[in-house]
Amino acid sequence: GDSVTQMEGPVTLSEEAFLTINCTYTATGYPSLFWYVQYPGEGLQLLLKATKADDKGSNKGFEATYRKETTSFHLEKGSVQVSDSAVYFCALSDQGYSTLTFGKGTMLLVSP
Amino acid sequence: NAGVMQNPRHLVRRRGQEARLRCSPMKGHSHVYWYRQLPEEGLKFMVYLQKENIIDESGMPKERFSAEFPKEGPSILRIQQVVRGDSAAYFCASSPSTKTEKLFFGSGTQLSVL
């Protein structure tokens, strides 16, 4: 079955540091890939997505590139802010509708 | 436009009791999804409903769990005779269509079984 593996957290960084959160997947078809973010006390929000190989999703300074050859979708940001502190979930959709398979989530803590 | 509303935020039940979790989708959304997050696990799909219909319940445990999305009112996830292993965060999401980028999540209900 489909699965998503992402790096364990928490990831602790200082403000303006470079961020990478690794995500790899296993899927039978050609999935769409997503990053969701969950701020404390809130629901998950779509951060960015990519629907085919070599697509790059980007939003709010975050980027991720769909790498079919390495089955990866790593999340990056060049300079993190304290307000980026949240839990980040990598996910894939391999169905005709919005059924998502999620990773376990990675907590990011950014200190001033 | 209010977001996806889930209530209660926290629910405490003793073993053997029933738990009812409610989800009011965003206005205009007729597709509802329920996910469960066990401790140290990612979110797991449970069930997908459209108004008055269950479309996919492949992630639902076969016993004690049921879901509905009536013509009027919120979607309900019902867990009968709860056990400690049911303790988890339950998230609801809604969308106006099947497109994943239009999916919006609620803040979740944390169920604790004593």
pLDDT in tens, B26-57: 998 999 999 999 887 888 999 999 988 999 99
Say yes or no for a CB contact (<8 Å) between B56 and A98.
Answer: no
Say yes or no for a CB contact (<8 Å) between B43 and A49.
Answer: no
Residue whose structure tokens are 């509303």: B5
Say yes or no for a CB contact (<8 Å) between A103 and B98.
Answer: no
CB pairs A-B closer than 8 Å: 63
pLDDT of B97 reads 79
pLDDT of B100 reads 63
pLDDT of A75 reads 98
Nearest to A98 among B91, B99, B106 (CB): B99
Query: Is the confidence at residue B24, as pLDDT, over 80?
Result: yes
Q: How close does chain B come to A45, measured CA to CA in Å?
A: 7
Nearest CA in chain A to B46: A99
The strand pair at A62-65 and B109-113 is best described as unpaired
Say yes or no for a CB contact (<8 Å) between A98 and B4.
Answer: no
Say yes or no for a CB contact (<8 Å) between A97 and B101.
Answer: no
Mutate to test the interface with A, among B43, B45, B50, B92 (most CBs of A within 10 A): B43
Q: Which amino acid is at A46?
A: L
Say yes or no for a CB contact (<8 Å) between B100 and A45.
Answer: no
Give 10-residue mean pLDDT values along chain A (112 residues): 90 97 92 92 89 94 96 97 96 77 94 95
pLDDT in tens, B55-76: 999 999 999 999 999 999 999 9
Chain A positions touching B91 (Cβ under 8 A) are 43-44
Q: Which amino acid is at B107?
A: S
pLDDT of A96 reads 58
Helices (H), chain B: none
Say yes or no for a CB contact (<8 Å) between B42 and A105.
Answer: yes
Cβ-contact A76, A88 below 8 angstroms: no
Backbone angles phi, psi at B80, to 5 degrees: -90, 150
Nearest to A43 among B40, B45, B105 (CB): B105
Cis bond upstream, residue B74 (ω within 30): no
- Residues B66-95 have a mean pLDDT of 95
Say yes or no for a CB contact (<8 Å) between B100 and A96.
Answer: no
Nearest to A99 among B42, B56, B104 (CB): B56
CA distances from B112 to B9, B40, B105 (A): 11, 15, 21
Query: Is the confidence at residue B1, as pLDDT, over 70?
Result: no
Alpha-carbon gap, residue B82 to B17, rounded angstroms: 6
